[in-house]
Amino acid sequence: MPERSKLYFTVAETLRRARNIALCGHVMPDGDCLGSVLALGRALKIMGKEVLMLSPDPVPEMYAFLPGASEITVTGNGYKAVDVFVSVDCSVPDRLGCHHSFLERAGRVIVLDHHAGATVFGHIYLNEPGYAAAGEMVYELLRLLPVSLDPEMAACLYVAIITDTGSFRYDNTGPQTHIRVAELIKLGIDAARINKLLYEEKSLVSMKVLGRVLQSLRISDCGRVAWMSVRQDTLRELNARNEHVDGVINYPRAIKGVELALFYREIEANKYKVSLRSKYFLDVNKLAAQFGGGGHQRAAGCIMEGDLAEIQRRMLEAALTALKDEHT
Amino acid sequence: MPERSKLYFTVAETLRRARNIALCGHVMPDGDCLGSVLALGRALKIMGKEVLMLSPDPVPEMYAFLPGASEITVTGNGYKAVDVFVSVDCSVPDRLGCHHSFLERAGRVIVLDHHAGATVFGHIYLNEPGYAAAGEMVYELLRLLPVSLDPEMAACLYVAIITDTGSFRYDNTGPQTHIRVAELIKLGIDAARINKLLYEEKSLVSMKVLGRVLQSLRISDCGRVAWMSVRQDTLRELNARNEHVDGVINYPRAIKGVELALFYREIEANKYKVSLRSKYFLDVNKLAAQFGGGGHQRAAGCIMEGDLAEIQRRMLEAALTALKDEHT
């Protein structure tokens, strides 16, 4: 049996023996950490455990429909210590936020995570960089626990997987991802309804912001770079918060021929947060680094100061040079 | 063996015996009929058959990347007759468009379709209303042919399935859909790249149209009905054709609390094509019928004449009544 598979048994055994268990996802929780915490938490409750489901930040409204979501607490309910603490979808201790302090107060610390290049910590460290979602790890773990997967757990794991794979569009989606989802659907979830609840219940404000921001869409003469921007007064006028602007950068990136998309969001007078996204090949981490920023190969950001038109001119020049370099 | 499974063997045997074979999808071809025709066509060519791949309408640009897409012909290449004609993803003879006439000139006619309530025609009629895509039928059929599925066929079938399931979001997506896709991915396709080619290569014009149309977004006081509109002069100004407006109705429908989305597109002075979409329960087919239109429960359309504001007032009144009726 491979070393990693043995770890699942060790995790299962540790959970079986525990009396009270805390489960915690990362700061700025997403569908994967919430769905994973809720599915595992439900299973452990059914097994008779005392379960504390934690999140360092509140559950975003779009995930409020997840079975059990209201049981997730940000405060920790005054708990002082637990037998077992499970860090779910998180292997950077700082990303546990305010619940970081549990690490010293738990009998055993288990880490269940799928991020590559993560920090090793805790007593049992289980990392699956080949998995698209932590929800896939929880699915495998649940099969080793003396509890039957029910439709509620399946719905939570389904959300974990579709949110972390961009509905199976990202390159982390493997054959096993689809096979596990097939099993979840067999358990009787209403996948179409879940998708509507997730992707067709957007705020009116975000839709208005999208319309307004698209008015600023520009594209370079060569057609490889597209950008948009938004001023603070526009966001104020529309009563928009930062969350309402999330994801608008996907629109310029989705234009035919565009390799690099840029979005300039004014954060104070003459100061802009610039988001960079590439489609197939450009290393935007390197491009952002030229302006003191950073990130990943396909998604990065930086802060730029000055007049918007001047900032955009400087960035475009650097971008066109980077695009040229990639082809020589 | 169930009757339907036997039919797959009959189809496979008929194709094995044929010398020349025409494959044809429906008018206004989509990813499912094109991907299905191309995957089956490629397999039959490898088997040494003379294969004619037909489409009544040209292949839309977004599908031009499909392996073999350039071999699909609209004209029929002067063919007079074939041993076998296969109607793919189409069981309404009229929807074969100009290639309809092949039906009388083929030795055998095979129908492979998954639409419910379709017309029975041809010598071998194979219908799988439980399948999300015709591509799933072709996948099953290819397993019975003396040819190995290769990555090119897999890519075509992958596109067939993701386009007809809305990336696995529609309620036609069953466990078997995911299991078949897992097998396709195992054959070595680059699913992430295919998704980018399909969904992140949109025209600049369509993005500008979206931005402009979103400016017209309005929502009823109760928050259940949202609508947008576009005038002919706006489309002319943006150099937009009808295809550039496709899909914009998904935006008002995706607003939180909205059950009914409406889109008014001016087709001539004071004449509007109205598209209706509902999210969870409203029967828009019935609503559209009040104005001489029709369609399906969640997607319908009608034509309305008059002043835009007046048309919108009449429709909203009918819509609010329909929404009220659904809840009493």
pLDDT in tens, B116-150: 877 889 999 999 999 999 999 999 999 999 999 99
Number of neighbouring beta carbons within 10 Å of residue A140: 18
| Beta carbons of A256 and B201 less than 8 Å apart | yes
- In order, the DSSP letters of B63-90 are GTTSTTGGG-BSS-TT---EEEEEEES-
Q: How many CA atoms lie within 13 A of A125 on its CB side?
A: 13
Once rounded to an integer, what is the mean pLDDT over residues A294-316?
Answer: 96
For residue range A127-138, list pLDDT tens digits in order. Answer: 999 999 999 999
Q: Tell me the pLDDT of chain A averaged across its residues.
A: 95
Nearest beta carbon to residue A204 from set B171, B182, B219 = B219
Rounded Cα gap, residues B72 and B88, in angstroms: 13
CA–CA–CA angle A4, B175, B188 (5° rounding): 60
Residues 161-200 of chain B with CB under 8 A from chain A are 162, 167-171, 173-179, 181-183, 185-186, 190-193, 195-196, 199-200
In the predicted model, residues of chain B with pLDDT beneath 70 are 1-2, 327-328
Give per-residue pLDDT as tens, A250-292: 999 999 999 999 999 999 999 999 999 999 999 999 999 999 9
pLDDT of residue A327: 65
Query: Looking at CA atoms only, how far is residue A123 from chain B in angstroms?
Result: 35
Q: How far is B4 from chain A (nearest CA, A)?
A: 23
User: What is residue B328's predicted lDDT score, i.e. its pLDDT?
Assistant: 55
Q: What percentage of chain A exceeds 70 in pLDDT?
A: 99
| Amino acid B291: pLDDT | 97
Of B190, B201, B211, the CB nearest to A215: B211
Residues of A in contact with B200 (CB under 8 A): 253-254, 279
B136 token code pair:
């799933």
For residue A177, name the pLDDT band (cuts at 50, 70, 90).
Answer: very high
For the domain made up of B207-326, the CATH class stated in words is alpha beta
Instruction: List, as ranges, residues 33-52 from A with C-beta within 8 Å of B.
Output: none
Q: CATH second-level architecture of B3-199?
A: Alpha-Beta Complex (3.90)
> Can you tell me the distance from the alpha carbon of B164 to that of B180, in angstroms, rounded to the nearest whole number?
14
* Confidence at residue B55, expressed as pLDDT on a 0 to 100 scale: 97
Query: Which CA distances in Å does B250 have to A148, A199, B239, B276, B282?
Result: 38, 11, 22, 10, 16
Q: What is the pLDDT averaged over residues A15-36?
A: 96
- Confidence class for position A246, pLDDT limits 50, 70, 90: confident
Predicted pLDDT of residue A152 = 98
Instruction: Tell me the β-bridge partners of B129.
Output: none
Chain B nearest-CA distance from A29, in A, is: 21
CATH fold group of domain A205-326: Diaminopimelate Epimerase; Chain A, domain 1 (3.10.310)
pLDDT at position B91: 84
CB contact (8 A) between residue A202 and residue B256: yes
pLDDT of residue B128: 94
Flag whether pLDDT at A328 surpasses 60: no
Q: Please say whether the beta carbons of B219 and B226 come within 8 A.
A: yes
A204 touches chain B (CB under 8 A): yes
Interface confidence (ipTM) of the complex:
0.92
Chain A residues in contact with B253 (beta carbon < 8 A): 200
pLDDT for res A131: 96
**What local confidence, expressed as pLDDT, does residue A4 receive?**
79
**pLDDT band at A238; cut points 50, 70, 90:** very high
Determine contact, residues B44/B177, Cβ cutoff 8 Å. no
Contact B311, B290 (CB under 8 A): no
Boundaries of every domain in chain B? 3-199, 207-326
Report yes or no: A145 and A39 within 8 Å, Cβ to Cβ.
Answer: no
Tell me which DSSP letter residue A73 carries.
Answer: B
Instruction: Collect all residues of chain B within an 8 Å Cβ-Cβ radius of residue A200.
Output: 253-254, 279
Instruction: Supply the pLDDT for residue B141.
Output: 98
pLDDT value for B1: 59
Q: In this predicted model, which residue has the larger pLDDT, A261 or A4?
A: A261
Q: Could A202 and B254 be called an inter-chain contact, meaning their C-beta atoms sit closer than 8 Å?
A: yes
Strand-pair partners of B274: B264, B302
Residues 230-269 of A with CB under 8 A from B: 251-257
Terminal C-alpha separation, chain B: 47
Best to test chain B binding among A162, A194, A200 (most B CBs inside 10 Å): A200
Please judge whether A211 and B215 are an interchain contact, meaning their C-beta atoms are less than 8 angstroms apart: yes
Residue-level pLDDT at A243: 82
What is the phi-psi region of residue B57: left when phi exceeds 0, alpha when psi lies from -120 to 50, beta otherwise? beta
